[in-house]
Structure 1
Amino acid sequence: MIKRIFIVLLLTVAVLGGIFAFKFYQIRQAESLIQPPPPAVVAAATVRSEQWPSALTAVGSFSPVAGVNVSNEVAGKISALHFQSGQSVAAGQLLLELDADTDRAELEGLRAELQLAKVRLQRSEKMLDKKYVSQADYDQHVAQLQQASAAVQAKITRIDKKMIRAPFAGELGIRQVNLGQYLGEGAAIVSLQQLEPIHLDFSLPERHISQLARNQSISATVQAYPGEVFSGKIAALNPGVEQDTRSLKVRAKLDNKDKRLRPGMFAQVRIESGGPRPVLTLPDTAISYNPYGNSVFLIEQGSQGLSVQNRQVTTGQNREGRVEIVSGLQEGDRVVSAGQVKLRNGMPVSIDARPAPGERESGQ
């Protein structure tokens, strides 16, 4: 009985083993018929040596040499407007008048009191010589004259403060008040900005302090006027470095006779700081920017063909679509400049015959 059971189990194992071996053979045959995926097609760029002028680059924004919101110092109702929105004005030009009829009437009364104080003092002077008035009465008349004169001057000053004038020459903005409107103290009337010349403010890392000086030449480009370069000079350097960013604030001054540059405009700044220097460069499309560091996929030639390896690099300045490679690569190294998303270390690749995307426009 036991022998019979053993024979049945043995036959069962043999049958199952045969089935497994047959299925395994079928799977291997099917796998041999499957073609491996072709290598990923990527664009390649070569690390090349260039001579870059020694210059610093930054981004900044324009600000006016002088800019204020014109406002009134005393309250009152607008009786006359003497400007239009967007108008150019000279320093001291009358912009607006507040109603001062009551003040002018009071001024006439104060002037009458001043005249009476003068007459009293003249009489006292004549009578003092003859001892008809005391010195105390004479001194009181002198004080009354001084008080009356001060009151007249104070009223004149108040009337003058109701004549709102431009504190400096410049360009007016959009008017924010209307004729007949009552203005409280400090109400915004219109913005006034001096546009000629104009300031350009930007920041640079503290490591560049030794390369900066007053009257150093700078150039700027803006999106509003593509291809046009605006020149100026450094006017001031902040005496201290910002503790939060470890950067130095710099202010340049540019001529703006045509008034095309406006406060708040964004600018790309370039500061010349010496002769040309050799650098290794790549198209900016070849760099993968990550929080933990920048990297590229280096193309290597092996026995099985081309493959890629991720390589950490240190980058420097960026100019006209090319990035300076400070370390991590050598001249002549080939890297992937398009198609990095689908790659991983050791993956086989084939190179597209077309130039790298970062070099097609320049025809290189």
Structure 2
Amino acid sequence: MISRFLLVLIALLAIVGGLAFIKYTQIQKEMAGASRPRPAPVVSVTHVTSETWQPSLKAVGTVQAVQGTLVNNQVPGQVQEILFESGAMVTKGQILIRLDDEVDRADLDGLLAAERLAGIKLKRNRSLLKDRAVAQGDVDEITAALDQARAQVKAKRATIEKKAIRAPFSGQLGIRQVNLGQYLPAGSSIVSLQALDPTFVDYSLPERHLAVLTKGQEVQARVAAYPDRVFSGRIEAISPAIDQGTRNVQVRARFTNQDLALRPGMFARVTTLLPTRGETLTLPREAITFSTYGDSVYLVREVEGKPQVQRRQIRTGDARGGRVAVLEGLADGDTVVLAGQVKLTNGQEIRIKEEAPSTGSHQGPTPSASTP
């Protein structure tokens, strides 16, 4: 009995010892693996490049027609004829609608008859005045009556002419707001008319920029309707007064608009170009880590023949077309990590996948800006 118990105990001890040995071996392997250095992470890099940037001033503005009005009637009347279509292009002086002028033309006939009668009386009285058959006062009275008749005829003709509503200038019509047979009181809205080529963009800039603004200065604009298109124009006028409420100066730029893409009332992002300045160090936006504690990059250095990264604080400036100006912290030609920063630590060895091609001088249409 005792010998059997000893055999069982020995067997249990052997099993426990075997399991302990296996576990010990596993722990040793894991410790050995942990002690081996991790492989260097693979990152892509880019270089700091020097570019010639054109500084600018950015603002928001509104597209305005060179001429725009709501066509209306000066005299009341009933719409007799509509001679235009909504959205049509018209020329200056083109008749848009005619009001009923039948009664006015009948009145004109009566006034013309009165004018002729006054002329006959005046001719007869002048003949009689030579024979002293009438007094000079009678001739003067008839002369005044003729002048009055002529004035009434002229006034009636002007009224008839005003019942033909004409386009005050060439441009594009809006949507018709009247109907055939409708009675229009004086001053009724008929249709909007806008002269769209050229067109204006009005915007404002802080007064501190007044010294760098000149008439004829190049201006670029973008609108939401055509996000990939840049409209080029020039400053047409600069307000001589500063707004006391905002301390801004009003600026008006003139743009050619042959295809009528710019429409009055559009919201525009305006860039006023300033004279070209010297070389600027730039980096792709992706290479920079932005934070509230400051912007930084991972600078690549050779240490004992192997590439390592060092976290470098930098001071950034304007942004333009995906690139950011670097004001402090880097030099022209420095190599920095472009992608893969999240897996890096300061002083870590890296493997460079491939260098991103240098973009050279950026030719984007929206330069960096000093915004209000």
TM-score (norm 2): 0.67
CA distance in 1, matches of 2:193, 2:90: 9
Q: Cα distance, 1:215 vs. partner?
A: 1.4
CA distance in 1, matches of 2:75, 2:317: 56
Q: CA RMSD in A?
A: 4.0
* Cross-structure match for 1:108: 109
Q: Cα distance, 1:76 vs. partner?
A: 1.1
SS at structure 2 position matched to 1:276: coil
Change (3 A) 1:261 1:221: same
TM-score (norm 1): 0.68
CA distance in 1, matches of 2:270, 2:153: 56
CA distance in 1, matches of 2:215, 2:276: 19
Change (3 A) 1:330 1:240: farther
Q: Cα distance, 1:201 vs. partner?
A: 1.5
Is residue 2:62 matched to residue 1:61?
A: yes
- Residue-by-residue CA offset, 1:265-304 (whole Å, 9 max, x unaligned): 222323322123355668499667xxxxx8646689xxxx
Q: Cα distance, 1:57 vs. partner?
A: 3.1
Change (3 A) 1:108 1:271: same
* Cross-structure match for 2:93: 92
SS at structure 1 position matched to 2:176: coil
Give the gaps of 5 or more residues in structure 1: 1-44, 289-293, 301-305, 338-347, 354-358
Counting only pairs closer than 5 Å after superposition, residues 74-93 of structure 1 correspond to structure 2 as 74-93=75-94
Give the gaps of 5 or more residues in structure 2: 1-44, 299-308, 340-344, 351-355, 360-372
SS at structure 1 position matched to 2:155: helix
SS at structure 2 position matched to 1:137: helix
Asked whether the equivalents of residues 53 and 274 of structure 1 are also in contact (C-alpha less than 8 Å), the reply is no
* Cross-structure match for 1:232: 233
Change (3 A) 1:237 1:155: same
CA distance in 1, matches of 2:227, 2:322: 16
Change (3 A) 1:241 1:53: farther
Q: Cα distance, 1:54 vs. partner?
A: 2.9
Change (3 A) 1:248 1:69: same
Q: Cα distance, 1:319 vs. partner?
A: 2.6
Q: Cα distance, 1:74 vs. partner?
A: 1.0
Letter in 2 for 1:66: Q
SS at structure 1 position matched to 2:275: strand
How many residues in Structure 1 have an aligned counterpart in Structure 2?
296
Change (3 A) 1:325 1:75: farther
* Cross-structure match for 2:42: none
Counting only pairs closer than 5 Å after superposition, residues 192-341 of structure 1 correspond to structure 2 as 192-279=193-280, 283=285, 296=294, 317-321=318-322, 330-331=329-330
* Cross-structure match for 2:20: none
Q: Cα distance, 1:223 vs. partner?
A: 2.9
SS at structure 1 position matched to 2:274: strand
Change (3 A) 1:250 1:170: same
Change (3 A) 1:139 1:297: same
Q: Cα distance, 1:101 vs. partner?
A: 0.8
After alignment, is 123-132 or 215-224 more displaced? 215-224
Change (3 A) 1:324 1:240: farther
SS at structure 2 position matched to 1:226: strand
Asked whether the equivalents of residues 49 and 331 of structure 1 are also in contact (C-alpha less than 8 Å), the reply is no
CA distance in 2, matches of 1:280, 1:179: 67
Asked whether the equivalents of residues 47 and 280 of structure 1 are also in contact (C-alpha less than 8 Å), the reply is no
Q: Cα distance, 1:202 vs. partner?
A: 1.6
SS at structure 2 position matched to 1:274: coil
Letter in 1 for 2:55: A
CA distance in 2, matches of 1:88, 1:185: 25
CA distance in 2, matches of 1:180, 1:66: 30
SS at structure 1 position matched to 2:278: strand
Asked whether the equivalents of residues 65 and 200 of structure 2 are also in contact (C-alpha less than 8 Å), the reply is yes
Letter in 2 for 1:109: G
Identical residues among aligned pairs (%): 42
